Amino acid sequence: MKTIAELQAIRDKAREKMAVREGDSDNIRVIVGMATCGIAAGARPVLNAFVDEVAKRHLNNVTVTQTGCIGMCQFEPIVEVLVPGKEKVTYGKVTPEKVAKIITDHLVNGSPVAEYTVGNLMK
């Protein structure tokens, strides 16, 4: 970092990411389980993938946040998607590679990815 402009660019990028993580209550909410079991299973890269992808696509109606233990450790990393007016969808064994499909199919097109859901993983 050699100039004030470079520092301001870093600040602006950080602010963009924070906006994705704060949002308002009318937004679609993506909640990543970040308890120790989730982190050990790889939840941190999943959270980062959601934040990056939502910011990259400029999805201003999506809030990405984290929570503690969701209670289904065998399915970690777990991601819950809450769309206002619809039932909560819980995804299990989420990887950063699955994030783009969840965002495209569920968050953008309104079609949950059934094969990634916890209910489907229990079969």
Nearest to 88 by CA among 62, 117, 67, 59: 117
Domain boundaries, the chain: 4-121
pLDDT at residue 27 in the model: 87
Whether domain 4-121 has CATH 3.40.50.300: no
pTM, two decimals, is: 0.79
* Phi/psi-derived region of residue 105, left when phi > 0, alpha when psi is between -120 and 50, beta in every other case: alpha
Q: Give the β-pairing of 89-91 and 62-67.
A: unpaired
Residues 106, 29 contacting (CB under 8 angstroms): no
Rg of the chain (C-alpha set): 15
Which tens digit of pLDDT belongs to each residue from 47-76? 999 999 999 999 989 999 999 998 899 999
Which tens digit of pLDDT belongs to each residue from 14-40? 766 665 555 556 789 999 999 999 999
